[in-house]
Amino acid sequence: MEKILVTRSSMPSFEEYCEEIKKLWDSRWLTNGGVEHIELQKKLEEYLGCEHAVLFTNGHLALEYVIAAMGFERGSEVITTPFTFASTTHAIVRNGLVPVFCDVREDNYTIDPGKIEALITEKTVALVPVHVYGNMCDTARIAEIANKHGLKVIYDAAHAFGVKYRGVSSACFGDASMFSFHATKVFNTIEGGAVCFSDDALVDKLNCMKNFGQTGVDAVGFVGGNAKMSEFQAAMGICNLRHLSDEIAKRKAVVERYFAALDGVNGIKLCRPDASTEHNYAYLPVVFDAYRLSRDEVFDALSEQGITARKYFYPLTNSFECYRDLPTAGADKTPVASYYADRVLTLPLYADLSMDDVDRITDIILNKE
């Protein structure tokens, strides 16, 4: 029986992609802001409704560089969440900053605004909240806290591409929002990422920083590196953007099939999209709590049948060995996040996952002896 992976990359037809990249054989312009890069940037700014979008070779470097661009003093503290991928915490630490871990909300796994202020000290300079599984943070409350204490807000929006919260694009909150365009995301550029923001001064700074800090032909004004998106990545993004609405609609249909089978089952908790959110159906998280099988037993049962699910996010980043000496390290410091890390399993979800395969997955979950 064919294996089912936890995700599968969305791609245009081979012919469509070849047509899009054909011009590159004429220009031989493969990187450094060529025509594909420029076109994708403009299309993303329009689609996301943001003033500026700066493209990067991946989402991690996009986040790392926008934090660097803020010019925070080394040793300053940044409040974030441990219920995230390693990249979020690493981007903070690689900038010489100290992550301070805040617990998450019980309803949608995003940072709990009610627990943020107790963690603010004279060293706190920023908040890095994370939109999780396409669920949006409480952006209004976070903005209130940030304004009150004079803090920057940089959203890790890797999961939130195409999401709108109360009619506003996920790209338009905080001082900046980072998106990942990794192959596993709802929208991909093979590898890739972007930072969206409204501050005009950040445009040239970020573009210089991602190109070795060069500010001119013979001038280097910033300590930078190489984080440029290639023309082939941009071309994939242009193609995929054309089909995005259809892709999200297909993902929604898959999610609704899962919900039909699993909703109301004792010991299984589903996270339905909030009514105020236009969702992207990026992930299908299922919490197994007092179910007849543990999360790990469900994971193993699926694996035995060639089906890959994911313990996402597990372990928490504040449980990583490399962060064990931090003051807020340890899962016991964030009990809600720890609870979900031990119980959540994201099931296979992608646009062309067949309903028969969804039924096969849910049948294993519900009927495994």
Q: What's the pLDDT tens digit per position in 39-49?
A: 999 999 999 99
Angle between helices 86-93 and 59-69 (to 10 degrees): 30
What is the model's pLDDT at position 21?
Answer: 98
CB-CB contact of 66 with 176 (8 Å): yes
**pLDDT tens for residues 299-348?**
999 999 999 999 999 999 999 999 999 988 998 999 999 999 999 999 99
How far is CA 86 from each of CA 40, 314, 319, rounded to the nearest angstrom? 27, 10, 11
Q: Which residues contact 108 (CB under 8 A, 6 or more apart)?
A: 132, 133, 135, 136, 271, 274
What is the model's pLDDT at position 273?
Answer: 87
What is the model's pLDDT at position 368?
Answer: 77
What one-character DSSP code corresponds to residue 173? S
What is the model's pLDDT at position 292?
Answer: 96
Q: Which fold has domain 244-367?
A: Aspartate Aminotransferase, domain 1 (3.90.1150)
Cα–Cα dist 192/128, whole Å: 20
Label residue 53 by pLDDT band (50, 70, 90): very high
Is the CATH number of domain 14-242 3.10.20.30? no
Map out the domains of the chain as residue ranges: 14-242, 244-367
Residue ranges of alpha helices (H) inside the chain are: 14-27, 35-48, 59-69, 86-93, 139-149, 201-209, 231-242, 244-262, 295-304, 335-341, 355-367
**pLDDT tens for residues 172-224?**
999 999 999 999 999 999 999 999 999 999 999 999 999 999 998 899 999 99
**pLDDT tens for residues 79-130?**
999 999 999 999 999 999 999 999 999 999 999 999 999 999 999 999 999 9
**pLDDT tens for residues 245-295?**
999 999 999 999 999 999 999 999 999 988 899 999 999 999 999 999 999
What is the model's pLDDT at position 15?
Answer: 98
Label residue 2 by pLDDT band (50, 70, 90): confident
What is the model's pLDDT at position 333?
Answer: 94
Cα–Cα dist 168/118, whole Å: 29
What the block records as the tokens of 326 is 């931090």
**pLDDT tens for residues 150-165?**
999 999 999 999 999 9
Q: Which residues contact 259 (CB under 8 A, 6 or more apart)?
A: 270, 272
Of 246, 251, 243, 232, which is closest to residue 191 (Cα–Cα)? Answer: 232
CB-CB contact of 3 with 308 (8 Å): yes
